Amino acid sequence: MQTHEIRRRFLAHFEHAGHTPVPSASLILDDPTLLFVNAGMVQFKPYFLGDAPPPYATATSIQKCVRTGDIENVGHTTRHNTFFQMAGNFSFGDYFKEGAIRHAWSLVTSSQDDGGFGFDPERIWVTVYENDDEAERLWQDVAGLPLERIQRRGGEDNYWDMGVPGPGGPCSEIYYDRGPEYGLEGGPVADEDRYLEIWNLVFMQDVRGDSSPKYGAPPIGELPQKNIDTGLGVERVAFLLQGVDNVYETDLLRPTIDRVQELSGRSYDHGTPEDGVRFRVIADHIRTGTMIIGDGVIPGNEGRGYVLRRLLRRVVRNARLLGITEPVLVDLTTVVRDAMGPSYPELVTDFDRIVSVMRAEEEAFLATLTTGSRLFDSAVADTRRAGRSVLSGEDAFVLHDTYGFPIDLTLEMAAEAGLDVDEGAFRSLMDQQRARAKADAKSRKQGSADHSVYRRLLEAHPPGEFLGYTDLQAATRIVGLLVDGQPVPVAREGDTVEVVLDNTPFYGESGGQQPDTGVIRTTDGTVRVDDVQLPVPGLRIHRGVVTHGTIGVDTAAEAEVDTDRRSAIARAHTGTHLVHAGVRNALGPAAAQAGSLNAPGRLRFDFTSPSGGIPPALLGEVEDEVNTILQEDRDVDWYVTTMDRARELGAMMLFGEKYGDQVRVVDMGEYSRELCGGTHVARTGELGMIKVITEGSIGSGVRRVEALVGLDAFRYLNREHVLVNQLAEQLKTPTEDLPERVSGLVERLRAAEKELEAVRAREVLSSAGSLVDGAEDVGGVALVAARTPEGVTGGDLRSLAGDVRGRLQGRPGVVALFAPDGEKVSFVVATTEGARDRGLAAGDLVKAFAPAVNGRGGGKPDLAQGGGSGVAGIDDAIAALRTEVSRAV
């Protein structure tokens, strides 16, 4: 049975049982606890946690998941994948244990002619939580399983929670006996390779406290509503039903292995065990990388980007180890598209963007691999010559930091070379490099109330209607009021408040669009609204200050949005859509939106660009194209439609966003059509104009365009016009000749600076004779230690030290020159051959005096240099040098 058919049967089984089919969420959700979605229940977390009411009583989905914690097991075991598909059915207060067991047993054991998977019931085993008598009884009553094929296990195996206080419950896992040729008798507790887990049923019934029942702590209560969360491993069911030995040989991964055989000329089925692992790693990682890029991630050095980069680089390196020297990622991505496309059509429609990312990453890594491998081999040779078996942390750090050679690759290659790596020292050096604080990329405005207060407000007052698409003023009612994070019936003048309305025209900050401001008025008081946020899904909080009188809960009110601010933000948001379209037209589908800011009169648009930035001339063309659309005064329409229809229309979708079956499309004809919940103008002409201000890199593979819109753009151009006119007047040249005139001035300035440097160098070098004349005798060594004039460059300082040393040849001599520059100081030490014969090495002398100037440095015995931040310590440094020379001779 093909994997796509397994997916179809699963969904059909539960749809027939009344479950609502829910599309897979993106691998990237707005969840700070996860790099990637790693389980089928993740998109339903708000319903399990009570943050939002579920829109259906039962649901079913097949969720794409990524787990990289087992990356080292990939290729070595029969069942580990980094990307996998989790099929699940969910009940939110509807059926419970009996229903979950009945649904699962029916699908697993029903014949394939009847729409089931057709597993032999006599080969099914299950496990239950150690004290779950009810589940054990139900498996006997509902499924007819004999007691000897029902095994009890402890909390670490058969209890589930989210890892934090909240909902949890016992599990029951379904296993299939692959037969005695695969391992020991005795059920799952004896051998989990022979008895393969295919489905986990979680009976969510408890509330856990700070400690988890997984490790023996009792639950602190029962959930008021019992839920079901299950997960079936699609890939595991596939390899059982397809009669292969592991997940890598199923219909979705075997084509990649076959293609690697063609490219390498090596055999997967009859090759070495080491080569077998390499084939499987490539097949797994290229699929995972394709799916991750498909959801909008690009390779980088942190977070999701680093995980992706690591996976792709493991593909390239394992291909190299199989003898493939040509680029391979694009070729293998094509195989993945063909295998996965029937279930994930976005891989087909976004293929050009995906392969452009693959191509750029492989080109960059091949250059790194060539240089890094050479340096790695040198470090290994040095380590072995020194009789050591551990590659130093410093070597690993230099490979990583200077040459971009990832540490995991260093670890793998070192292991292949029979060496360990001093990971502790490497991590310490990395920590030192990262000592500076890093601002959180996603600042979260959570307000003064904790989420439990917000959840209670939402439960008491389900989401009202957002009126702001059509109305900026509306009659409403105050249904919730917080002061200092606590519910209150009344707030008075001067109080900082959070207000919940039963319906509202105010837009809450989301999707890159800044929030509305305005006022809420009642007959007794007024609130100035400064901010609007959505702290939990569905709840719109209006934050501000009571500026007059009092306001109270259950009071009629008038809500009025600041129309000037809203209009300016709407112009910016529409402008962002147009810039997005213009950039994609210029760079192709690889330029996918990676973030935005829509503020009054200005916009910021971030986009992925593996090949680099937009050349200035091309950026000018983008700006001209967008402003042409403004001049045409096109209609800006919006409408709600189905996700399938939106795809048919070619509407752009933002990666990482979660969309429902019904979506809102903002449509400017064929030029721009995007899914968007923000507010926009009615016609493009309302923007006036768009002026791009900057374009530049904000990280690996991510660029940022900033632009002004409308009156702000006009004001900017006016300031530029005044500035240009002032320059033209000062330089006595027409404005059109300014570039040539300024270029000529710059060239003249550079020539003058070079001439000045030459004069200064001659002056500095002319002092060599007087410095030699001033040499003092220290134990038979001529010591020249002096401070040079302010502003002497490092190159001049070295030249002067060399000149002085040359004049001292024939006798032991040490030259130490200090060049102050503000509060900093540079220094150079040079020694003659006679001084070195007496044990005086320049590098050692630097160590003796550098602390006096808060500095450091080093070099060879004949020449050393460095710098410090303590210019006031130069005299002390000279004294320390004199003492060291005297001591040494």
Asked if residue 693 and residue 839 are part of one domain, the reply reads no
The pLDDT, as a whole number, for residue 450 is: 57
Nearest partner of 116 among 13, 232, 231, 11, judged by Cα? 13
When comparing pLDDT for 49 and 208, which is higher?
208
The pLDDT value given to residue 511: 86
Share of the chain above pLDDT 90, in %: 58
Owner of token pair 């000149």: 803
Question: Is residue 158 situated within a structural domain?
Answer: yes
Would the annotation count 577 as a binding residue? yes
Query: In this structure, what token pair is assigned to residue 257?
Result: 């292995």
pLDDT recorded at residue 796 = 82
Q: For residue 609, what is the DSSP state?
A: -
Q: How far is CA 268 from CA 277, 406, 536, 733, in A?
A: 9, 28, 51, 74
The answer to the question of residue 210 being in a domain is yes
More confident residue, 699 or 694: 694
Dist CA 655 CA 312 (whole Å):
20
pLDDT recorded at residue 440: 35
765 band by pLDDT with thresholds 50, 70 and 90: low
Given this model, what pLDDT does residue 571 score?
96
In this structure, the strands spanning 690-699 and 673-675 are unpaired
Evaluate if residue 40 carries a pLDDT over 70: yes
Under DSSP, the state recorded for 670 is: B
What confidence category does residue 706 fall into, taking pLDDT thresholds of 50, 70 and 90? very high
Segments of 343-472 assigned E as strands: 390-391, 420-421
CATH for 147? 3.30.930.10
What mean pLDDT, rounded, does the chain reach? 89
Q: Are residues 465 and 323 part of one domain?
A: no
If one compares 526 and 592, the residue with the highest pLDDT of the two is 526
Tens of pLDDT along 771-780? 888 889 998 9
Q: Are residues 556 and 577 in the same domain?
A: no
For residues 134-141, average pLDDT: 96
**Domain stop point among 244, 276, 300:** 244
Residue 230, beta-bridge partner list: 201
For 175, the token pair is: 């296993």
Same domain (yes/no): 373, 494:
no
132-146 average pLDDT score: 96
- Mean pLDDT, residues 446-467 taken together: 73
Residues 240, 262: one domain?
no
Tell me how far CA of residue 206 lies from CA of 280, 405, 553, 797, in angstroms. Answer: 40, 47, 34, 75
Query: 310 and 268 in one domain?
Result: yes
Contact 844, 880 (CB under 8 A): no
CA diameter of the chain: 107
Per-residue pLDDT tens digits for 372-391 = 777 888 888 888 888 888 99
Please state, in angstroms and rounded to a whole number, the distance separating the CA atoms of residues 824 and 869. Answer: 4
30/705 Cα distance (integer angstroms): 23
Q: Do 34 and 434 contact (CB within 8 A), yes or no? A: no
pLDDT for 434 equals 60
Neighbour-count burial of 325, counting CB atoms closer than 10 A to its CB (0-12 exposed, 13-18 middle, 19+ buried): exposed
- pLDDT of residue 444 exceeding 60, the answer is no
The closest alpha carbon to 548, from 523, 517, 565, 518, belongs to 523
Q: Beta partners for 170?
A: 159
Is residue 680 a known part of a binding site? yes
Q: Is residue 736 part of a domain?
A: no
pLDDT, tens only, 734-745: 888 888 888 889
**461 and 407, same domain (yes or no):** no
**What is the predicted pLDDT for the residue at 711?**
92
Q: Strand locations in 303-422, DSSP E?
A: 390-391, 420-421
Which two tokens mark 191? Answer: 């051998």
Q: For residues 182 and 445, which has the higher predicted lDDT (pLDDT)? A: 182
DSSP H/E element including 616: helix 616-631
Taking residues 712-737, what's their average pLDDT? Answer: 89
8 Å CB contact between 83 and 294: no
pLDDT at position 668, please?
Answer: 94
Structure tokens belonging to residue 811:
């006798």
Residue 734 located in a structural domain: no
Q: What total number of domains does the chain contain?
A: 5
**Which CATH number covers residue 520?**
2.40.30.130
pLDDT at 875: 93
Q: Is the dihedral of CA 240, 242, 243, 245 positive or negative?
A: negative
H or E segment to which residue 336 belongs: helix 329-340
H or E segment and range at residue 49: helix 45-49
- Residue 103 marked in a binding site: no
- With contact defined as beta carbons under 8 Å apart, do 479 and 554 qualify? yes
Cα(586)–Cα(614) distance, rounded to whole angstroms?
A: 8
The answer to the question of residue 724 being in a domain is no
Categorize the per-residue pLDDT at 658 as very low, low, confident or very high, splitting at 50, 70 and 90: low
Same domain, 485 and 407: no
Q: Answer whether 101's CB lies under 8 Å from 144's CB.
A: no
Here the CATH number for the domain that contains residue 851 is 3.10.310.40
**Which of the listed residues 717, 744, 778 is the one where a domain comes to its end?**
717
In the chain, what are the helix, strand and coil shares in percent, each to the nearest 5?
45, 25, 30
Note whether 555 and 595 are same-domain residues.
Answer: no
10 Å CB burial of residue 644 (0-12, 13-18, 19+) is: exposed
In a domain, 509, yes or no: yes
Whether residues 542 and 643 share a domain: the answer is no
> For residues 717 and 188, what is the distance between their CA atoms, to the nearest angstrom?
73
492 within 8 A of 484, measured Cβ to Cβ: no
Q: Containing H/E element for 846?
A: helix 842-849
Is 400 marked as binding a ligand? no
For residue 129, CA distances in Å to 152, 214, 215 come to: 6, 10, 12
Could you write out the DSSP letters of every residue in 89-103?
EEEESS--HHHHHHH
Q: Give the bridge partners for 704, in sequence order.
A: 606, 696
pLDDT single digits (tens) 784-807: 999 888 767 777 888 889 889 988
Residue 213, token pair as written in the block: 């029942």
Phi and psi at 808, nearest 5°, equal -95, 0
Residue 728 belongs to a domain:
no
Residue 254 reports pLDDT greater than 70? yes
Same domain, 473 and 532: yes
The answer to whether residue 444 is domain-embedded is: no
Q: What are phi and psi of 864, to 5 degrees?
A: -140, 155
Predicted confidence at residue 753, as pLDDT, reads 80
Tokens of 818: 């200090």
* Continuous H helices in 632-737: 643-648, 711-731
Q: Which of 568-582, 678-692, 771-785 has the lowest mean pLDDT?
A: 771-785
Is a pLDDT exceeding 80 seen at residue 452?
no
What is the structure's pLDDT at 447? 45
Structure tokens that stand for 847 in this block: 């160590």
pLDDT in tens, 327-364: 999 999 999 999 999 999 999 988 988 998 899 888 88
Q: How far apart are CA 846 and CA 858, in angstroms?
A: 6
Domain that holds residue 610: 566-717
Q: For 10-14, 180-184, 198-202, 610-614, which range has the lowest pLDDT when averaged over its residues?
A: 610-614
Name the most confidently modeled range: 261-275, 731-745, 759-773: 261-275
72 shares its domain with 175: yes
Spatial distance between the Cα atoms of 692 and 705, rounded to a whole number of angstroms: 7
| pLDDT, tens digit (0-9, with 9 covering 90-100), for 744-762 | 899 999 888 878 776 766 6
Closest by CA position to 833, among listed 817, 816, 812: 812
Tokens for 607, please give them: 């986009």
Map tokens 């200050």 to a residue.
545
Predicted pLDDT of residue 446: 43
Give the pLDDT score at 404. 66
How many residues make up the chain in this entry? Answer: 889
What was the pLDDT predicted at 445? 40
Indicate the pTM of the whole model.
0.64
Q: Which of 546, 561, 576 is the last residue of a domain?
A: 561
Query: CATH no. for residue 654?
Result: 3.30.980.10
